[in-house]
Amino acid sequence: MPLNRQIVSVKPLTVPTTGRSIPLQVKVTAPIEGDTLPVIVFSHGNAWSMDGYEPLIERWSAAGFIVVQPTHLDSRRNRIGFDDPRFAGIWRVRIADLHAILNHLGDIFDQVGGLPARADHTRIAIVGHSWGAQTAGALLGARVLDAAGTPGEDYSHPAVKAGALIAATGTGDSLTPFAVAHLPFMRPGYATMTTPALVVAGGKDQSAMSTRGPDWFTDAYHLSPAPKRLLSISDGEHTLGGVAGEAVKETTDEDPARVALVADAVSAYLLDVLGLDSTSWQAWEKQAADSSGTFTIDTK
């Protein structure tokens, strides 16, 4: 998908919320032209901010989406490390951030000239990468399990009609000792994740937080109820070519074409499932069938 549609970003916009020692700020990116624009709320991976993930955000906006990006508390700019007493609750604050954004979308768009009349509040999707994917999954209906496997609180949001989880945390029965000690919330239960979603997984994504292999990142698809779709990218590692930005430090499999694949497949899926355009996704299914295993699509 060529980036031939002009887009504009506005930041920082402050969102009302509670239980946060640092104000919640977001960036909004939108096409300059177009009406009845669907909305993506995007949750970044660990340590990032509203200023990351431009390779995804810009392509989604060029495809016709308004994208809202928060800076979560775990952002590097906030300097909250594992030894900070606030860290243990950041996973809950992340979820609260997304709820606050959804509950104040009108107020957010009011701060961007001309945008309120162009947004379609009936077509809202939630997307995340890595820790952001687990955060987004909570709004789709996934719950954090305790050590006994009992599901925790339901954080789903009625405004969210669909989602996409990119490199999403798998189940917690294979966590490494470090993850058990520092990230006990990394135990998602997907049995309750009923909202339609696309799961994106890399075939070479080996997490340092799990003793399992790349199949760990497909749990969100296999363990959740239909309707779901799975995009598996055979050579993809955790950043899937560099979704957080060009040549960023943690990218181990730099490949701009792979990033474009992820971005465009997500937008095609969301346009399809939100009832706006099915032709792009149908084209992706044909490409997957013709790709000789470079990437595959499963559906249930």
**pLDDT at position 83 over 90:** no
- Average of per-residue pLDDT across 267-292: 96
| CA dist 142 → 145, 163, 200 (Å) | 9, 12, 16
Report helix, strand and coil shares of the chain as percent, to nearest 5.
30, 25, 45
Q: pLDDT class for 1, splitting at 50, 70, 90?
A: low
∠ CA 133-105-123, nearest 5°, is 65
> 138, 95 in Cβ contact below 8 A?
yes
Residue with the bigger pLDDT between 82 and 36: it is 36
| pLDDT at res. 98 | 98
- pLDDT tens profile 127-148: 999 999 999 999 999 999 998 8
Average pLDDT score over the chain: 95
| CA dist 298 → 65, 162, 190, 201 (Å) | 25, 17, 17, 12
pTM for the full predicted model? 0.96
CA distance 160 to 229: 17
| pLDDT at res. 4 | 75
- pLDDT tens profile 158-217: 999 999 999 999 999 999 999 998 898 999 999 999 999 999 999 999 999 999 999 999
In this structure, the number of other CB atoms found within 10 A of the CB of residue 156 comes to: 18
Which DSSP string do the residues of 42-70 spell out, in sequence order?
A: EE--TT--TT--HHHHHHHHHTT-EEEEE
**pLDDT at position 26 over 80:** yes
The dihedrals phi and psi of 133, each to the nearest 5 degrees, come to: -70, -40
- Average of per-residue pLDDT across 44-55: 96
The helix-helix angle for 279-289 and 256-273 (nearest 10°) equals 130
CA distance 292 to 129: 26
**pLDDT at position 3 over 70:** no
- Average of per-residue pLDDT across 69-85: 92
